[in-house]
A and B are shown apart, each in its own frame.
Chain A
Amino acid sequence: MSKENPIKKIETPPSIDITEDLGGPRCTIEDEEKFLNRIKKELDSKIISASIPRLGRINVEVAPEKIIEVALYLKIQALYDAPMSVAAVDFPEEEIFEIIYHLMSYSAKQSRSSIIQLRTKIPRENPHSPSLIKIWAGVEWHERETHEMFGIVFEGHPDLGGLLLPEDWNDIPPLRKDYILPFYRKEKENEGASKEEKK
């Protein structure tokens, strides 16, 4: 870890609920826009983009180097304390993996119906991303599963061992786009052979 360890800041959380001034038990689209503008203002240099795709969703895209700072802000200032899932999307043509953290809040004053999608894009070859396990402990198994299914290495994760696949798995991670199911492997090979013959 470098000298500036952002995780250490957790020990003295300011815990200001920035959703407090929005009012009302459920969010309207205006409330969400207010919230989004505030995020944009305070995280100006750290995020790549932020938007509202539809009511109840907020998209925040960050670079992988900045993800810990942004996650800390979202946890401490916006009280997004529950990570619901960690997903990854494989884009083989653009040669990137997109990791998506879905975040939800239980302790914000305004019980939020909106879910934050914290997205980050990492290169497909030798994929590394900082683990958020010290910010949200609940992310442990999700990151393990993402590691198992996509081969993404989460730096700082204590145990990225096998979770769902059999212990003697020796193949590429199965949810990558270039993984062919064993059931269809012969078919695909035959198709490839026939295509070559045609050429």
Chain B
Amino acid sequence: METVDDKNSVSRKQKKDLVTQPEDELVQDTKSFAGNAFVGKLSDFVKKVANVNPIRYILNWARMYSLWPTHITTSCCCTEFGAASGPRFDMERFGLIQAVGGARQSDLLVIEGTISYKMLPRLERVWEQMPAPKYSIAMGACALSGGLYYDSYNVVPGIDKYLPVDVYLPGCPPRPEALIQSVLLLREKIGRSRIE
């Protein structure tokens, strides 16, 4: 048993190193990017420039005001999503465009409803198809924790083990207002985020 513990501790340390090192480098780089601007790769340089505050603000502003959603619908939350993009609640006021594009043209994944283990590889595939600045909202109790089916043999108890989730939206199903609030939260997050 001891050996296993040792191995675990070592791997944790290594992981810590892996996590901490690049952050430190980034901090240093951003401080003195002007000096070595033309030495590094062009993409690094672009990143550094994009993270300068006014430029970062403009880019984030552009992103957060036109979120193109794609939605994986496996259960009843889709009715609320549909209602939210209808004229009564009108999500477009808040910068969430109606779900008209495919996964390759969108940057927001709304996961609505129960994800079964058979559905999970398909969901991951959709997530991997989406281009890089991408965000996800887990909508409804089933997507958060399995919901009613938390002890089922075929339902994923919470998709955050498999996908990065930006906003958790509880409810069974959540009201369209709640969906709008989650989009506002996501926009806040995008506005504060670094550009990578």
Q: A181 near B118 (CB under 8 angstroms)?
A: no
Hey, what's the 0/1 contact readout for B128-164 against A, CB within 8 Å counting as 1? 0000000000000000000000111110000000000
- Tell me whether B117 is interfacial, beta carbon within 8 Å: yes
- In terms of DSSP, what is the predominant structure of the interface of chain B? loop
- List CB contacts (< 8 Å) of A149-188 with chain B: 164-167, 171, 174, 179, 181-184
Partner of B154, one of A165, A167, A184: A165
Q: A174 near B151 (CB under 8 angstroms)?
A: no
Q: A183 near B118 (CB under 8 angstroms)?
A: no
Q: A166 near B153 (CB under 8 angstroms)?
A: no
Q: Across the interface, which residues of B come within 8 angstroms of A165, CB to CB?
A: 117-118, 154
Q: A166 near B118 (CB under 8 angstroms)?
A: yes
- In terms of DSSP, what is the predominant structure of the interface of chain A? loop
Chain A interface category by residue count:
10 to 19
A181 to B153, CA, bound (A): 6
A87 to B120, CA, bound (A): 27
Hey, what's the 0/1 contact readout for A126-168 against B, CB within 8 Å counting as 1? 0000000000000000000000000000000000000011110
Q: A166 near B150 (CB under 8 angstroms)?
A: no
Q: B154 near A164 (CB under 8 angstroms)?
A: yes
| 18 A-B pairs in the complex with CB atoms less than 8 angstroms apart | A164-B116, A165-B117, A165-B118, A166-B117, A166-B118, A166-B120, A166-B154, A167-B118, A171-B153, A174-B153, A174-B154, A179-B153, A181-B151, A181-B153, A182-B153, A183-B151, A183-B152, A184-B151
